[in-house]
Amino acid sequence: MGNSFKSAHFLMEGRLADAARGDADALLDLGIAYSSGSGGIEVDLIEAHKWFNLAAVNGSEAATMCRADISDEMTARQATDQRRAA
């Protein structure tokens, strides 16, 4: 396992721990990771929407805008799956 993978994995674990405590910045960071594929995460717009939604509920205005952008990008099938997941 390369050092960049290890550091990305460590970063994601830390953000998940912060997100579990309701940290809006961590929730936003997770949404960004899933929407862009950063941090060694595979792009998953449904997962990104979930994290942006949680960040928005916890007061992040940036997440509200990102959530709207992701919604525009999602296919009709992804939108259906997202509604089911909610």
Tens digits of residue pLDDT in 50-69: 999 999 999 999 999 999 99
What b/e sequence results for 1-16 when a residue is b if at least 16 CB atoms lie within 10 Å of its CB, and e otherwise?
A: eeeeeeebeeebeebe
CA distance 11 to 61: 23
Percent of the chain with pLDDT over 70: 81
**How many distinct structural domains can be found in the chain?**
1
Could you tell me the pTM of the whole model? 0.75
For 40, the domain range is 3-85
| Tokens representing residue 65 in the block | 């805008």
57 φ/ψ sector (left φ>0, alpha ψ -120 to 50, else beta): alpha
